[in-house]
Amino acid sequence: MPELPEVETTTQGLRKTILRLTVKDVWTSYDSPYFHGSDSIKDPTYFKYFKKTIKNQKIKSVNRRAKNILINLSNKYTILVHMKMTGHLMYGDYNKKDPYNRHIRLIFYLSNGKTLELCDTRKFAKVTLLPTETMHETIHLKNIGPEPLEKEFTFNIFKKQINKKPNGKIKTILMDQNIIAGIGNIYSDEILWESSVHPERKVSTLKEKEMKIMFKTLKEILKKGINFGGDSMSDYRDINGERGKFQIYHEAYRRAGEKCRKRNCKGIIKRKIVNGRSAHFCDTHQT
């Protein structure tokens, strides 16, 4: 699933390409009985409303909140796109040779003759429409925790947030979107590996020094993910349909059975299910 760095990479790409363009039309192949009666474009009735509302509207700005892309329109409505497990947005003449770019479920036709397309292999992505002024009060956004790369996200805020669940396992807590926004399986593994903290450690057992190291590492690794254009170990591609490069620098995620690369560590990377999610960690230096 695209996490903060992948969603931020996409958001930055959209800011460079679609601002001030007008949505001339929109098409989708989504139609799921499970979503009928909901505020999802997977409901054909809702999609008609969605289409009518966004047609001929100018794209004013693009923002990110956690793993959500927010495309703000001139009529004071916002298109929310959550790429979920296998989704990614692509613009214009993207790389069509990549098989992961061929499952197009949604197309926005733009005023410059180009398109913005949502590729979603497993059809899990969420697209809906929100009033811009009140969107952060809706069920889609209101309970999300603080953004970890904002200046306001200090060590004291980090400490306060994770201590909301002192008996929780730190791997699970880092991925809890109500605690901290945007972190998922990949980056939690990498943060904990670098911080030398075992994924099953309870928050209450963490020492102040360990939390400070984790706080610093969290910011560094998320920034690194953005700098390398996100992680394309699986489906994710940027708006040009190209792979990110963060997967080249994995130290823990999906390296089970390999030697730990921590200096002077002789451990092996293990994989274990922690509260229903896979965790990759070193069996020696992560304690």
The H or E element spanning position 282 is strand 277-282
Which of 169, 224, 254, 277 is the catalytic position? 277
Which of 65, 67, 126, 171 is the catalytic position? 67
Query: Is the confidence at residue 229, as pLDDT, over 90?
Result: yes
Q: In 132-191, which ranges are E strands?
A: none
pLDDT over 90, % of the chain: 100
Which of 2, 5, 146, 199 is the catalytic position? 2
Q: What is the pTM of this model?
A: 0.97
Q: Please state whether 241 falls in left (phi above 0), alpha (psi between -120 and 50) or beta.
A: left
CA distance 186 to 273: 14
pLDDT digits (tens, 9 = 90+) for 103-144: 999 999 999 999 999 999 999 999 999 999 999 999 999 999
pLDDT digits (tens, 9 = 90+) for 165-204: 999 999 999 999 999 999 999 999 999 999 999 999 999 9
The H or E element spanning position 240 is none
Active site residue 271: no
Active site residue 67: yes
- Mean pLDDT estimate for the chain: 98
Active site residue 8: no
Q: Residue for token digits 């994995």?
A: 250
Active site residue 251: no
pLDDT digits (tens, 9 = 90+) for 73-88: 999 999 999 999 999 9
CA distance 149 to 201: 24
282 alpha-carbon distance from chain centroid? 25
The pLDDT confidence band at residue 1, using thresholds 50, 70 and 90, is: confident
Enumerate residues 6+ apart whose C-beta is below 8 A from 121. Answer: 86, 100, 103, 235
pLDDT digits (tens, 9 = 90+) for 87-106: 999 999 999 999 999 999 99
pLDDT of residue 79: 99
